[in-house]
Amino acid sequence: MPSPNVDPYDTYEPNVLAGTLVAHTDAVWGLAYSGIKNQLLSCSADGTVRLWKPQEKLPCICTYNGNKEHGIPTSVDFIGCDPAHMVTSFNTGSTVIYDLETSQSLVMLSSQIDSDLQSSNHINRVVSHPTLPVTITAHEDRHIKFFDNKTGKMIHSMVAHLDAVTSLAVDPNGIYLMSGSHDCSIRLWNLDSKTCVQEITAHRKKLDESIYDVAFHPSKAYIASAGADALAKVFV
């Protein structure tokens, strides 16, 4: 990582590139990193989800959904309370929990899927709660949905924004959920009550798109967002 004192507008320093992982044959839509196992997950428009050990000589150690059996993956995350499992969302509206070692799909999280409306089924982001067996999904149809990883059943569903929900993040303590949307807002939710406790208008729209990603700092009281207006912002 570059020094925090570096000028953000300085010229690109090629020495920051530690390595390149090559295997996907189309755009990479999502990444997730596990510090516990020092492993990386990636999902791609080529239909596959891949597990990497970046420091190995042959870094790609497993491939999932090779036959596109569930569709095209849109987002991926390690299960917080069980890093031997991962959860992946698909453009079909399916969300699947996999065992990373056996490559078997363990649980399919059941949501009401309308076979006629492909666009409304689209899941933009999936995140795992850091300590509870709960998966949270962000949808093109403005919904956020919560699922029980053990039963696969939906626990709660809510219309969370005025436009597509593009991004999600759970704070490291598992108390707050942050969501970003093409309605230009970041919303902070109490996970217990599922109520919105804060809203920030963060980015300008560009070609009908606004916020692409949100994140919590792992230890400090910072949040960050990235938008279609080419800006990344940090809030205290």
CA distance 57 to 32: 20
CA distance 59 to 92: 29
Residue carrying the six token digits 């700092």: 217
If we measure between CA atoms, which residue out of 231, 134, 113 comes closest to residue 180?
231
Q: Which residue has the higher pLDDT, 119 or 206?
A: 206
Mean pLDDT check: name the lowest of 7-11, 71-75, 183-187.
7-11
Identity of the highest mean pLDDT range in 24-28, 108-112, 220-224? 24-28
With vertex at residue 210, the alpha carbon angle to CA 93 and CA 142, rounded to the nearest 5 degrees, is 35
- pLDDT digit string (tens) for 2-39? 677 777 777 877 887 878 899 999 999 999 999 888 99
Q: How confident is the model at residue 111 (pLDDT cuts 50, 70, 90)?
A: low
Cβ atoms 88, 65 nearer than 8 A: yes
DSSP state of 118: H
- Give 156-207 as a DSSP string: EEEE--SS-EEEEEE-TTSSEEEEEETTSEEEEEETTTTEEEEEEE----BT
If we measure between CA atoms, which residue out of 156, 153, 197, 160 comes closest to residue 175?
197
Q: Which residue has the higher pLDDT, 160 or 113?
A: 160
Q: Please report the pLDDT score of residue 148 as a whole number.
A: 93
Q: What is the pTM of this model?
A: 0.86
Q: How confident is the model at residue 117 (pLDDT cuts 50, 70, 90)?
A: low
CA distance 222 to 202: 14
Q: How confident is the model at residue 112 (pLDDT cuts 50, 70, 90)?
A: low
Q: Please report the pLDDT score of residue 72 as a whole number.
A: 92
Handedness of CA 159, 195, 145, 203 (dihedral sign): positive
Q: Please report the pLDDT score of residue 74 as a whole number.
A: 94
DSSP state of 206: B
pLDDT of residue 92 exceeding 90, the answer is: no
Please report, rounded to a whole number, the percentage of residues in the chain having pLDDT higher than 70: 94
Domains, the chain: 1-159 (2.130.10.10), 170-235 (no CATH)
Q: How far is CA 13 from CA 16, 20, 191, in A?
A: 6, 16, 40
